[in-house]
Structure 1
Amino acid sequence: MALRTKTALLVGLLFLLHTWGVKAQVKVEMEDRVEVTLGTAAEIPCLYTTDDGFGGLIIEWFYLDPAGKQHRIYFQDPTMRIEETNSQFTGRIKVDVTPSQGSGQVLLRVLETRLGDEVDFICLVKSLTDGNDQGKTQLRVFEKPAHPIIKSVDKDIWFNNEEPVKIGSCEAKNGYPRPNITWYKDNTPLSNVPNEVSVVSQVATGSSGLFSVESELSLKVVKEDQGSEFYCEVNYQIIGGFGMLESEKKKIRVSYPSDEVNLWVKSPKRDIKEGDTVEFECLGNGNPQPLVTFRNREMVELNAINNVLELRNVSRLDSGLYECVTTHIETFEEVVGNTTLFVNYLEPADVSPEETLTLSQGADLNQSCNALSSLKTHTVWMKNGVKVATGNILSLRDVVYDMAGTYECMVTVPQLVGMETSAAFQLIVEGSPEISEPQSTSLEQAVESTVVLTCRARGNPRPTITWRSAGSLVDSQSNVTEDGVLSWVNVKVSSDLNVSCHASNTNGNVETLYSIKARGSGVIIAVLIICLLLLAILGSVLYFLYKKGKICGRSGKQDLTKEKTSRDNIVVEMKSDNTEEAVLLAVNGDKKSGDQ
């Protein structure tokens, strides 16, 4: 009852204002376009101003269908709000009015946007005095497509096709609005060129209204396309601009025959020497690599694996021209590549004039060592592991026994590590014997002791050693050593003696003399003499004390009148073990014949 009363009063008021000719001014402002992602809520504002002081407004929302027909979806006046129940937006819109003095905003919210919501929305605002205005906003809905999928041709593409052949396809699904696909080759965009490039696209619309685009690229392939990268780019609209997605990159395989073949030594990467294993590799400029045949200079076919030829333990006889051959699959003409192999060599070393040389002491020697080689050589002479000379000629002057032995010449090729050879010769030196001087030939030994004397001699022929003492031969023992003969004797010392070592061969002889001094009776006699001298001195002292009365009870006073003896005579008697004669030694006096 109250609603009906309010409505009647409003109708009466409107009639009265219309009768009086009063008309308010209304102005509406709206955005040209509102963009939204599919499935999210869209907010469409409608701003208005009015000079109607009564505060009553009528608000209506409409949309235009594709045919341009207008459909109302919402009505509001000061007394009621009505949402139309028979539109595509029923149950998905909300309208909020924010009034202010003389202005306000009406906000239409479309929930869970669909592709069909992409229409023009009209906001109509009327005053109670017939003043009205309206605005229009276009709603745009976007959906980003899935990442593009590219599929390339799996087989090899023959390069000489008369017309473009399929390279691959690219697909972008479920985008809105319709996305576009652009093809690229090595970062360069491709476009349709008659008989060169063909790009064909197909668009499909699903039940959801989203677009799926598939594009197929065909290309007239050339050799240079081998290994080129192809990919597709999808461009699509988004809120406020555009987006872009790139597919993965695919390489195509282009087949074409070889018109050039290259042959080279793959290993070793250095000069080749005898004994090496050599690998040749042959490659054509076609794709895929053609099968090749290897031939040597005698045109003999050689077995190879995967276009690689292996020669083991090569010699200088393997030097020469080598070829690899392939056949053009269209013209059946042979395409040939070749290279030249040179195998370096070093022949065994040879010494001359002989491998065993016998020289007399003081002679000279010139021995040569030669080894034929394809490269420059270096020769070193060694003896017992020590370098003695360089160069292919070994020169020895005034040879002596120490120069005898084995000499080895080593020939190397500095340019190639491991390229070497050697030879040896034996030098024999003949001459008279030589005795190695002992540390001492003068010895002093105790009587009745035994001394071992040694004598070392060398010579060629090997010398014979004998020992003599006092003109007689002495029994000895001998051993043959590496450089001569070692002999020794055991000598019992009874007195001073000389022992000689004699070394002799067919070229001469030499002698060394040992002098041995016996130590024994002479020393004892010397000791006895010293003892007797000490006793004589002691007796003189005692006799002097006796005379002075210092001993034997004599008075300490002397008879001053008694004639003083001019000298004191002290006699010591010595007896010799050999002569048993008495010897008187006078100390400070003359020799006496009687007692004192």
Structure 2
Amino acid sequence: MEDRVEVFRGDKAQITCLFKSGDGIGGITIQWLYVTRLREKQPIYYQDATTKYIESSFPYKDRINVTDNGARGETVLTINDVQIRDEMEFICLVRSLTEGTGEGRTKLKVFEKPERPTIEGMETGISVNEKTPPKIGVCEVKNGFPKPNITWYRNTTPLHDDGDGVSVKSSSTVESSGLFSVRSELSMKVTKEDKNAKFYCEVSYFVPGATRMTETNRINITVYYPSTAVDVWVDSPKGKIKEGDSIVFHCRGNGNTPSLLTLSHNNGDVLGDGNIVVLENVSRQHSGVYKLIVNCKEPAWIYLDPAVVKPEDTVVVAQGEAVTATCNALSSLQTNTAWFKNGEEVFTGHTVTLKDVTFDNTGTYTCVVTVPEIEGMETSGTLDVRVAGPPKIMEQDTEITAAFDTMVELSCHVRGFPPPSVTWNSPDGEVFKMASQKETEEGVESVLSVKVISDITALCRASNKYGTDSVTFNIKASESLLLVFPVSTLGVCGSGVIIAVVIICILLLAILGSVLYFLYKKGKLCGRSGKQDITKGKSNKENIVVEMKSDNTEEATLLGVNGEKQPASEQVNFLIL
């Protein structure tokens, strides 16, 4: 037997047992067994010269079958729809009356390719002066078997837990399906050079006969670092400076953290703070050396904690009532807070109050806390507001005209909380069971598809514990459809269609005329005898003449039965029944 058989979950596994015996298939006994996690042998299948059966105690008996070929000395155990719990050791036991007992073992290995891994970086910036390694990001891969492995990379360099500047913490979860989900968190001290670094995760996982790898997206982090060098220059005037001029000094540091730039003259007088300093009406006393000093305005560490929204998660408020929510995030710097709904700013400030709420106030509110002094430093939280009240069906067109034997979709958009239940009924109380229903942010939406075979009346009724609302849809079935084509405005394609229709009509009329004439000659029309003579021909007025003309102006003229031309501006009407 093979040492191991490897298959993907859901596939079919075949475990083959080969044997040799001079007694033939009728003189041997074949048994299949499996080894439990407690190392106990449990029977699966038994076969001798007169009996074949699968053990009723085997938990997966409905998914297995055993075939044998005595001439080739082979028995095959087949397991269909292999699951994670099927990963175990199987034993083939063959007993011969004259040659004794032989045993073989095979381990079944089951594999499941995990989902695509995800990576999430820190939304807030990270200071180079952090005393402990700050969190960089989290990688996660779900539903793999055996357990996948996650390796962090900085650019092309793998990162491992070294107990000093790099910390990697991994955890795994066994799902109810038996599959593994793995989560890995990277913490690392950063330097100024990390502002351009790309971080990502590599996930290695096993498949039958091989190991494969996949990678997450690349992320970068915001690194905050103080200035280590500063520049000062005269922006105005250009060239030589004379008494009475105004001098504009520009100051700049190479860091990206808030700092205080101070400009002094001859190591003494402080001329000003900030990025721009202006000296007006200068004199010779202003000659000398100017020094720029940079001082951090804030502590060596800069932080912005995650936003905390109160009430948490979802708040339910009755119609007409009020609700107050707060959003705060601790920070070492001054913060601003704004509230957004559906991508639009609706409030500012840490506290927001909704008064006399209606269904219009239902939805998800996102509070965003930003640090104005540092671009991109922000955190956010969400609050779901649900307005409790009786159902309210949104206004819509309820009078519908549809062609006979077509499908029509009727939609009921209902506001309300708890989410209303929607039923569709006919006027006599019959329930339409083919309606679909899904929850929306404001309530529910129910759609009913009906086939128009007659006039239909459908009642949409929505209800919850606060009340009921209903609306009636009236569908009028249209048995015919009138199409009107202006002859004077038909293009080439339109003219072609009319010509084809007219030709078909002419052919049908010709066939009909031939049949009528034949019957007339035979005397079988209107009780006439075939012996009667026809002495008079048909008058010209009884002839039907159809003429179609077309020229470069793409106009068509239709002749009547008496040959009169119809005006070109008239319309040709087709009635389709």
**Taking structure 2 as the reference length, what is the TM-score of the superposition?**
0.44
Structure of higher CA gyration radius: 1
